[in-house]
Amino acid sequence: MSFSMVQFADLESAYDDPEQIARFVGTVQAHSDDPSLVVGVGDNVAPSAISLCTNGQAVQPVFNACAVAFDTIGNHDFDYGTETLTTAIAEAPQQFLCANVFDADGGRFGAQSGVLPWTTTEIDGVRLGIVGVAHPLTAAKSPPAADLTVTDPIAAVNEAIDALEESGVDEIVCLAHLGDEENHGQGEVDALAEQTDVDVICDGHTHGQPRIEQNNGSLLCRTAGTGIDVNVLTYDGEWSAERISCDGIAPATAIERTYHQLRTAQGLDEVVATVEKPIERSSETVFFGESRLGNFVADAYRWNGSTTVALQHSPGMRPGADLGGEITVAELIGVVPFDTEVVVTTMTGEQLRETLVFGGEVLVPEHPEYWFLHVSGATVTFDFADRAITDLSVGGKPINPDEQYTVAMPENCLEWFPVTVSAKRSLGLQYTLLTEYARECGIDPSIDGRLTLVNQKSTPSA
């Protein structure tokens, strides 16, 4: 009585790198011993440039090559719309499980495409119960999911446990796209372990922080995401796990060839600019203040809209590999891989000040030093001690509270900001604006002092 389970999650941008996704597939295939199960834990349909350009269909070769058995739904899986997601689910080889997402009419999300809340399977004489849960803030994190209802994952898992135990399972596995605590009080993965009686939790959502540890009798496992590793869990009467890096694994040649062909067919291989000094795309560059990446994105919006100011919210830029050398369309889409339009609106100077103050709001309590806005056309000094702007200029002049300023920003930013604006016009999709700007102006951003953050605990990276 012994079998293995290969766990992965958050493939996202890995699809855009043919060699990386091929190494990932090669790793899964090399560790899928017989008998074994391959399970995903969400954000494996989106976001990526190839997934966006193919309405989610480009993920299917990986799912099939890995013979994925079960998966759950991540918040970003909704990014290209519920129809794109349900179509991908219906055509995928794996059984999708999600016990806590419901349609506007109260029915379980994806039921018509085959999504189940939980199920059972038998492997090497062991009857497994498997349940999947999505992040409780899915509807807030992905705009296309706004009409859905996402219930408490802990309550959903406990309901599943009751049903699965009644059916006579030997072990219970939870596929949880929850990640580490985000202080919204609804319980992420550690709370799930502490408040439920499951044997294994395969977790996703939090990138770059792999975990294999025991918590309240549950084996809690998470990969780093983006196709750089997998976890191999083994059951022989007890559960154990090992993290396996995809580095050094021979790529699955057929997959590598397939994704090169997909990139070419979608025009994603077109080189639009060359970057001499690589532009960092780490989480630090996104969330800790002025960065070359943020300046490039905001400058592209302002250039396309001929506006006074442009803004880009930090969570809307995806961390990833540095931008260097020949830059392709795929790489620029990967910076902002969302079907989000950039709009132009008009704000008074006072409204613009209120909006920029929002950049220093405590949105993630465990990271009060985060800064949430990148700017173009303005210079801002923000004091974290007082949570206030101490200096603000637009176009080189002190801001006038009564003057009207044109502002370009992603449309979903308007829902965040504490100001009300009416008229707006669209400039087009975010990544299209980056591509047009790169073609015409090149990509050579610098740190020029547009953001000065005072009394910030962490130092922003360039």
pLDDT of residue 416: 78
- What sign has the CA pseudo-torsion 419, 422, 425, 426? positive
Q: What is the CATH number of domain 3-257?
A: 3.60.21.10
pLDDT of residue 185: 44
Rounded distance, CA 152 to CA 44, Å? 22
Instruction: Report phi then psi at 218, rounded to 5.
Output: -100, 135
Complete edge-to-edge strand list for the sheet that includes strand 373-376: 373-376, 309-313, 404-410, 341-348, 424-429
405: DSSP letter:
E
Both structure tokens of 133: 């849960």
pLDDT of residue 78: 96
Find, among 187, 168, 164, 165, the residue nearest to 176 by Cα: 187
pTM, entire model: 0.89
Instruction: Provide the residue type at 98 as one letter.
Output: C
Instruction: Give percent helix, percent strand, percent coil of the chain, each to the nearest 5.
Output: 30, 30, 40
Contact status, residue 97 vs residue 116, Cβ threshold 8 Å: yes
SS3 at position 358: helix
Contact status, residue 419 vs residue 413, Cβ threshold 8 Å: no
Rounded distance, CA 4 to CA 177, Å? 21
Contact status, residue 329 vs residue 268, Cβ threshold 8 Å: yes
Rounded distance, CA 223 to CA 355, Å? 36
Rounded distance, CA 453 to CA 174, Å? 42
Superfamily of domain 270-454: 5'-Nucleotidase, C-terminal domain (3.90.780.10)
End-to-end CA distance of the chain: 53
Write down the domain spans for the chain. Answer: 3-257, 270-454
The residues that bridge with 150 in the sheet, in sequence order, are 101
Count Cβ atoms below 10 Å from residue 426 Cβ, excluding itself. Answer: 11
Mean pLDDT of successive 10-residue segments in the chain (462 residues)? 94 95 98 93 95 93 98 96 96 98 95 97 96 94 92 96 96 96 63 95 94 96 96 97 96 97 95 96 89 98 98 91 95 93 95 94 84 97 96 96 96 82 89 97 96 83 44
Contact status, residue 447 vs residue 427, Cβ threshold 8 Å: no
Rounded distance, CA 301 to CA 322, Å? 21
Contact status, residue 3 vs residue 209, Cβ threshold 8 Å: no
Which residues, at least 6 apart from 137, have a Cβ–Cβ distance to it below 8 Å? 75, 150, 182, 184, 186
Rounded distance, CA 213 to CA 231, Å? 12
Both structure tokens of 253: 């040649």
Instruction: Provide the residue type at 170 as one letter.
Output: D
Rounded distance, CA 82 to CA 136, Å? 17
